[in-house]
Amino acid sequence: MTSLASTKPIVLITGASTGIGATYADRFARRGHDLVLVARNKTRLDAVAARLRAEAGVAVDVVQADLTDPGDLAKVEARLRDDDRIGVLVNNAGGNIPGSFAEQKTEDVARLIALNTTAVARLASAVAPRFATAGSGAIVNISSVVGLAPEFAMSVYGATKAFVTFLSQGLTLELGLKGVYVQAVLPAATRTEIWGHSGVDVDTLSGVMEVGELVDAALVGFDRREPITIPPLPDAGQWDALQAARQAILPNVRQEHAAERYRTRK
């Protein structure tokens, strides 16, 4: 599968048939990386692959998979475990469902959680041991600023993205010492098809970033080896302050007894 000229690691990208995933495919192809592209829609996937083979001269393998299907997910996991040419995983596949929590069907909630959290964790788990043994490799997890903001009233989607950010931070601590780079990318509103799946007309929104600008900014963070990249955030110090406030809590929570304020009913 590898193109003759390429000595760079292969990049496996999920959700690669459109939007952020397809744009990552374009950018990595133009950097000279061969690709493994994963998505449900094979027609779209084949079109992306054909264009990148023609325009960038790279080898592109297509894997049709629904990552909420255990068999399909296992197929991608096996590829990540067994193909030591793959050196970058972009965990991009994700989605949302319309309505408030009380309006969403339980089976749809379960499927969303499977796609946005279970698949992300399992694919990272499949490749992490090999990367750690090699002392190299990168895992890019596409999260969202919604995971920082319950106020946005997207409870399940936001919770799944909070999981992705937390997982990425934990993996940075665990795998970073072994030479593995882990990046969480937190977009805000970006012009992708997720809005239609959420029942929202993206053209009614303000402050929507174009997907090319989002990915290009995320790749600047990737090249800088940032653990967290928030492309629309003007002041990086705000993220640093949030982390400092969180870390200041930690020494105070390991206590033998409940805090004084909980020892009275008044």
Rounded CA separation 168/144 (Å): 12
Sign of CA dihedral 188, 193, 196, 197: negative
Q: Which residue has the tokens 């928030």?
A: 230
Q: Measuring CA to CA, which residue among 115, 129, 123, 165 is closest to residue 144?
A: 165
Q: Measuring CA to CA, which residue among 149, 189, 139 is closest to residue 169?
A: 139
Helix (H) or strand (E) holding 39: strand 35-39
Q: What tokens appear for 174 in the block?
A: 């665990």
- CB count, 10 Å around CB of 70? 12
Backbone angles phi, psi at 28, to 5 degrees: -70, -35
Amino acid identity, residue 15? G
Q: Pick the catalytic residue: 24, 157, 181, 262?
A: 157
Active site residue 157: yes
Query: Mind telling me the catalytic residues?
Result: 157
